[in-house]
Structures are given as structure tokens and as C-alpha cells.
Structure 1
Amino acid sequence: MPELPEVEALADFLRDRAVGHAIARIDVLAISALKTYDPPITALAGLTVTGVARHGKFLDLDVDGLHLVVHLARAGWLRRRDEIPAKPVRPGGKNPLAVRVHLDDGSGFDLTEAGTKKGLAVYVVRDPAEVPGVASLGPDPLDEAFTADALRAIVTAKRTQIKGLLRDQKNIAGIGNAYSDEVLHVAKMSPFKIASSLTDDEVTALHTAIVETLRDAVARSRGLEAQDLKGEKKTGLRVHGRTGQKCPACGDTVREVSFADSSLQYCATCQTGGKPLADRRLSRLLK
């Protein structure tokens, strides 16, 4: 799933290649991806892309005052094409193409989604705040207003596991499953630690880990072509997706806890005092 660093890189990518160009046509192949009808998506034709922004994991293209807002969900992606065929693509079948945007110079980009579980969401609105997911976002962790004190106010009020708190977009915008694992590894904190139990020093360490981890990932992704971002994310991860490999900090084996539709990775030596967390598939959760 694209998270803050990848979406920020995609926004940079579109600023360089789409801003200043008019939208010639938009083809919608997966009607389920389109979440709004007023204004119609056809209203964007002939208008010029004047800016690109990011709200958490949402991409926002300002098109002469209308906003094309995209959430890539779990398996969505954006693919730029130097030249897009003028002939419309037929919908249906196993084609992952959901929406195709034609620009006035013959280039454009495709919004694709792999798999059978569809979550890609495309909105056309007059104000990004009209998108429910954008309106409910918590603070952006790369904003200067996101201080250690701001984080302290968030965790103090939440008697929930810190892993879940970090992933909840209403608490902090842009962090998902992968970067929450990375942040907690850097902060040397158990994913099951209760947020409201954090000491002032732990909050400070967590804040530093959030900001530095995300800024580092954004810096690594900056300037890359869209098709290279997924590979960069994988190579830059320390523990997420690395079950069974050596922890880069201490050399212990990276472990995993699996859930119904996701999993987390962590290092017991670095994060839980050497105590393995129980995999919910096999036994009860350790307290």
C-alpha cells in the first residue's frame, strides 16, 4: 500500500510532468473507482492542471479550481505514459486499468489496481475537504506543527496499542502498516505497547523516529520515476516485510505477528526486551 513517502514522491512526479498541461480526456474503465458524480469527471476535460498536493495518503490534482483526488488504497498505483493511445480501452476482464488521464501533449497517466479486492477511490470535488477521508485526517507528521507536544496530546488520550494508533489516519495522516513497523523499530518500542502509557522520553523518541523515518524515505524517493518507487520502498525497509532476516541494528531474527488481513514485523531484541510476541494465528496475545 502506498504510504506518505510514496504518495509525496508521486505528487512531486506529477508536479514536474502534469502541471501546466490541460486534460484532454479521461477514460473511466472501473466505474466502482469513481466515488462522486457532481461535478462529473468529464468536467475536467479542457481544464489545466495548476498544482498537485498531498493530504495524508491522498493525491490531489488542482485542475483550474476543481480537484481530482485519488486514494490508491492497498493495490492501486499510478503509471505515467509518455504517449497514450487515442483509442479507448475496453473495460472488463482482468485489465487492472481503472482510470486513464490524457494530457494535451499526448502523454498522461493510468490509475491501475491489481487483485480482486478493489479499494481505489477517485473523487472530483470543488474542495478537497469534501472527501470524507481527507476531512477526517489527523495532523501531517511532516508539518512543522507536528511537534513532540502535539504527539503527546494524541497518545495521552488513547488507551490503545501504539501500532494501531500510528495506522489510524484520524490520529496521524499518512502512516500505514509498513512505516508504522519501521517507526517502532527505530523507536525501540513494542507494537503492542499501550499509547497512553508512554513516558515523556518515549514520546520524544517516538516523535523523532516518526519524523526522521518519513523524511528519510521521502528523500530517497525524490526524483525517482513512478515505476521505481515500489522497489525503492522495499529496499529501504528495515524490518517490515523481512520476516526471518537479520535485524540491521542487532542481528537478531526479524519476527512476525499475523492478523486476518495483514501482518507486522519487529525485532524482539530491539523492541520487546527479547520476548517474542505471540502470533495470533497460533496462540493468545502476550500481555
Structure 2
Amino acid sequence: MPELPEVHTLVADLGARLGGRTLERFDVVSFAALKTFDPPVTALACGTVVDVQRHGKFLDIQVDDLHVIIHLARAGWIRWRADAPAPAGKRGRTALAARLVLDDGSGFDITEAGTKKSLAVYVVRDPLDVPGIVRLGPDPLSPDFTVDVFRGILARAGRSQIKGVLRNQSLIAGIGNAYSDEILHTARMSPFTPASMDADRAAMLFEVMQATLAGAIDRADGLAASELKKEKKSGMQVHGRTGEPCPVCGDTVRQVIYSDTTFQYCPTCQTGGKPLADRVLSRLLK
């Protein structure tokens, strides 16, 4: 799933490619992906791309007075095309959800892999017309997001697990499963630690969070959309690396599976050497 650093880089890449250009049309191929009906998608035709922005994990392309809001969800992605598009279709498990075409035939495809479709596209007059954007918490890289703001979020979350608090978009916008794993590993903190913690520990976690996100953005700076997935994976220390040695201590990276989510951690670095309970493993051991 694209998270804050990847969407930030997509904004920079698409902003440079789309800014000031004329949009010929915007085709929504997947009926389920389009979440709005007024204004109609056809209202975007012949409009000028004014700006490209980010709201948490939401991508916002402004065309004249309208906004195309895209949430790539778990398996969505954007693929730039320099030439006129081929007929819309499906390759393997990856399906075309929508297509933006500029006046010279270039543009991008919005695709989604897998069978569980959760990618969302909105055409609105105001980004705040999108419920998910209205519910967003503060952006962790905003100048207004201070350590005191962060401490307040943690205090109000109380005994909630810190992993869930970092991922909760209504509390902090933009952090998902992957970067919460990386933040907690660097902070040497268990994912199950209660959010309410002393001031010094909260300040340390705040610094780690900002450094992790800023570092990911720096690594991706200047990369095209096609290179972002590889860069994200290569920069991970524990996320997606179950069974591999921890790059810090050498212990084996472990995972916990619950519901439809999997996260990774290092027992030595984060839990005092104790493996966390994993529902799947527990069922197998019964």
C-alpha cells in the first residue's frame, strides 16, 4: 500500500508532468472504483491541470475548479504512459481502474492488483467533499505537528496499542502498516506498547517517526512512479522481511497475522527477546 512517502513522491512526479497541461479526458473503467456522480467525470474534459497535492494517503489532482481524488488502497498504483494508450483491459491479476489522457496522448493508468478491489476515485468540487479526507488527523510532517501535539494524541489514545494508533488515519494521516513497522523497530518498541507513555519516550518516538518518514522521502526524491515500489521495499529493515536476519542485531524477523493484516518485528530489538502471540501460529500449535 502506498503510504505518505510514496504519495509525496507521486505528487512531485505527477506535478512536474501534469502541471499546466490540458486534460483530454478521464476514463473510469472500473464502475466500483468511482465513488461520486456529481460532478460527472465528463466535466473534466478539456480542463487544465492546476495543481497536484496530497492529503494523507489521498492524491489530489486539481483540474480547473474540480478535483480528482485518488486513494490507491492496498493494491492500487499509477503507471505513466508517454504514448497514446492501448485499449483498456486486464493483464493477469492487475486490472485497469481508470485512465487519464492528456491532449498529446500521454497520461497515466490507475491499476489495481488482486481480487479484493478497494481503490477509490472521487471527482469533487472540494477535497473536503471526500469523507476520508474530512476524517484525517494531522499530517506528521506538517510544521504544526509538534511533539506536544503528538503527546496529546498518545495521551488521548490511552491503553490502545501504539501500532494501531500510528496507523489510525483519523489520529495521524499518512502512516500505514509498513512505516509503522519501521518506526517501531527503529524506536525499539513493541507494537503492543500502550500509546500512553512518559514524555521522554513520546519525544523519542516522535523524532524517530519524523526521521523515518523524511528519510524515505529523501531516498525516493526524483524517482519516477515506476521505481517507487522497489525503493520502498529496499529501504525496509523489518517490514516484509519475515524469516530474514534483523539488520541491527541479527535475530530473525518475525510476523504476527491478525484479520487480513500482517506486521513484522524483531524480538531482540523490540520485545525483550520474546515472540509475540500470533493467532495463525497459535491455531497450528493446538
User: Shorter-normalised TM-score: what interval?
Assistant: over 0.9
Are the equivalent residues in 2 in contact too, given 1:30–1:91 (CA < 8 A)? no
Cα distance, 1:183–1:169 mapped onto 2, change above 3 Å: same
What residue in structure 2 maps to residue 246 of structure 1?
245
Q: Report the Cα offset of residue 117 of structure 1.
A: 0.4
What residue in structure 1 maps to residue 112 of structure 2?
113
CA separation in 1, counterparts of 2:215 and 2:109? 28
Are the equivalent residues in 1 in contact too, given 2:26–2:41 (CA < 8 A)? yes
Are the equivalent residues in 2 in contact too, given 1:268–1:276 (CA < 8 A)? yes
Q: Report the Cα offset of residue 88 of structure 1.
A: 4.9
Q: Secondary structure at the match of 1:35?
A: coil
What residue in structure 1 maps to residue 66 of structure 2?
66
CA separation in 2, counterparts of 1:160 and 1:119? 26
Q: Report the Cα offset of residue 89 of structure 1.
A: 2.7
Q: Report the Cα offset of residue 241 of structure 1.
A: 0.5
Unaligned runs of 5+ in 1: none
What residue in structure 2 maps to residue 209 of structure 1?
208
Q: Report the Cα offset of residue 40 of structure 1.
A: 0.5
Q: What are the superposed Cα offsets for residues 65-91 of structure 1, whole Å, 9 maximum, x if unpaired?
A: 210000000000000000123x75368
Q: Superposition pairs for residues 1-287 of structure 1, below 5 Å?
A: 1-85=1-85, 88-89=87-88, 96-158=95-157, 159-196=159-196, 198-283=197-282
Q: Report the Cα offset of residue 145 of structure 1.
A: 1.1
Are the equivalent residues in 1 in contact too, given 2:98–2:110 (CA < 8 A)? yes
State the identity %: 60
Cα distance, 1:174–1:274 mapped onto 2, change above 3 Å: same
Are the equivalent residues in 1 in contact too, given 2:13–2:222 (CA < 8 A)? yes
Q: How many residues align?
A: 282
Q: Secondary structure at the match of 2:280?
A: coil
CA separation in 2, counterparts of 1:93 and 1:7? 25
Q: What are the superposed Cα offsets for residues 151-185 of structure 1, whole Å, 9 maximum, x if unpaired?
A: 10001011210001111100100000000000001
TM-score, normalised via structure 2 length: 0.95
Q: What are the superposed Cα offsets for residues 205-247 of structure 1, whole Å, 9 maximum, x if unpaired?
A: 1101110000000111111111110000000001001111111
CA separation in 1, counterparts of 2:274 and 2:94? 46
CA separation in 1, counterparts of 2:282 and 2:171? 30
Q: Report the Cα offset of residue 94 of structure 1.
A: 6.0
Q: Secondary structure at the match of 1:170?
A: coil
Q: Secondary structure at the match of 2:211?
A: helix
Give the superposed CA RMSD: 1.6
State which drifts further: 253-262 or 163-172: 253-262
Q: Report the Cα offset of residue 93 of structure 1.
A: 9.3
Unaligned runs of 5+ in 2: none
Are the equivalent residues in 1 in contact too, given 2:89–2:95 (CA < 8 A)? no
Q: Report the Cα offset of residue 275 of structure 1.
A: 1.5
Q: Report the Cα offset of residue 99 of structure 1.
A: 0.5
Q: What are the superposed Cα offsets for residues 83-112 of structure 1, whole Å, 9 maximum, x if unpaired?
A: 123x75368996611101100122100000
TM-score, normalised via structure 1 length: 0.95
Q: What are the superposed Cα offsets for residues 174-198 of structure 1, whole Å, 9 maximum, x if unpaired?
A: 00000000000111110001112x1
Q: Secondary structure at the match of 1:282?
A: helix
